[in-house]
Amino acid sequence: MTADTLSPDTAPGAAGDSLGREAWRRLKQNRAAMASLLLLSIITLACVAGPWLTPWGLADVDWNAFNVAPTLEGGHWLGTDANGRDLLTRTLYGGRVSLSVALVATLVSLLIGVLYGAIAGYLGGRADNLMMRFVDIMYSLPFMFLVILLMVVFGRNILLIYAAIGAVEWLDMARIVRGQTLSLKRREFIEAAHALGVRDRTIVTRHLIPNAIGPVIVYVTLTVPKVILLESFLSFLGLGVQEPLTSWGVLISEGTDMMQTSPWMLLVPSVFLALTLFCLNFLGDGLRDALDPKTR
């Protein structure tokens, strides 16, 4: 599924191609990744715009339709829950929460992780040792303990849940960026560029950043599904968003309770969640192949 069978006319190294454009061209040849990108855009668009288009609101009760299975008649395409609320509408609203949690938490972890890792790798020596020791210590603390404590301290504010999740997800990112910075600092091609008299700024923009950004972007596409899963997991335990708001995790948790009598309540949000995670993983794989300098 990779782009390693390049045809000659799209061979890399054609003059004047920026790395970004080349990566995009390689990505475009990866059908699985492009299909995932398309499907992801559709899901995102549906979650953003959908709730305005459906005739039902998030907490609207249809007194004529409790526990209705998916049907084209009556307007409840994906059925209703035990309280007569339209499941499609609720799933789309839930998607807004789940997707925005993922976006904000990933950005927070990206910001902390990249800064922390780059500083540690750049400083090196004692400071690096100390900073990475702290990361090791954070790794030794049980993850659930940290998440629950942060949520207890910050209350049930949804924005702060985002931040809390991001604040415990940055450890891997910091390690990756530090490793990149460390190894790139003393690689031969950097040395060669120095020897050829390339300016520092050009070395950084042309050689250092493009090589370090690849793993970071790939890791971001892997962090997003991880965060969505984590939010769902917290909601499943009853620690996530509160009624009347909902998320895919909350809906799945409600669906598990009802799965014997109303299986659609479990299946609908699960399918949305699984599709999103599936696409994000495919996209991550595709990006890794497109950005990895070694496969060029």
Binding site for other proteins (CB under 8 A): 1-2, 133, 136-137, 139-145, 148-149, 152-153, 225, 229, 232-233, 236-237, 252-253, 256, 259-260, 266, 270, 273-275, 277-278, 281-282
CB nearer to other proteins: pick between 203 and 277: 277
CB nearer to other proteins: pick between 38 and 141: 141
Q: How far is the CB of 125 from other proteins (least distance, A)?
A: 19
CB nearer to other proteins: pick between 79 and 269: 269
Q: How far is the CB of 25 from other proteins (least distance, A)?
A: 20
Nearest to 64 by CA among 54, 74, 53: 74
Identity of the amino acid at 244: P
Cβ atoms 66, 80 nearer than 8 A = yes
Q: How far is the CB of 149 from other proteins (least distance, A)?
A: 5
- CA-based max dimension of the chain: 78
Q: How far is the CB of 275 from other proteins (least distance, A)?
A: 8
Residues 72, 253: Cα–Cα separation, whole Å: 25
| Region at 274 (left for phi over 0; alpha for psi -120 to 50; beta for the rest) | alpha
Q: How far is the CB of 195 from other proteins (least distance, A)?
A: 25
CB nearer to other proteins: pick between 178 and 193: 178
Residue reference for tokens 């009347």? 244
Burial of 163 (0-12, 13-18, 19+ CB in 10 A): middle
CB nearer to other proteins: pick between 92 and 280: 280
CB nearer to other proteins: pick between 159 and 271: 271
CB nearer to other proteins: pick between 252 and 290: 252
Residues 129, 255: Cα–Cα separation, whole Å: 47
Q: How far is the CB of 270 from other proteins (least distance, A)?
A: 5
Residues 85, 207: Cα–Cα separation, whole Å: 55
- Give how far the C-alpha of residue 266 lies from the chain's centroid of Cα atoms, to the nearest Å: 23
Q: How far is the CB of 198 from other proteins (least distance, A)?
A: 29
Q: Residue 291: in which H helix or E strand, if any? A: helix 264-291
Backbone phi and psi for residue 80, each to the nearest 5 degrees, phi listed first: -130, 165
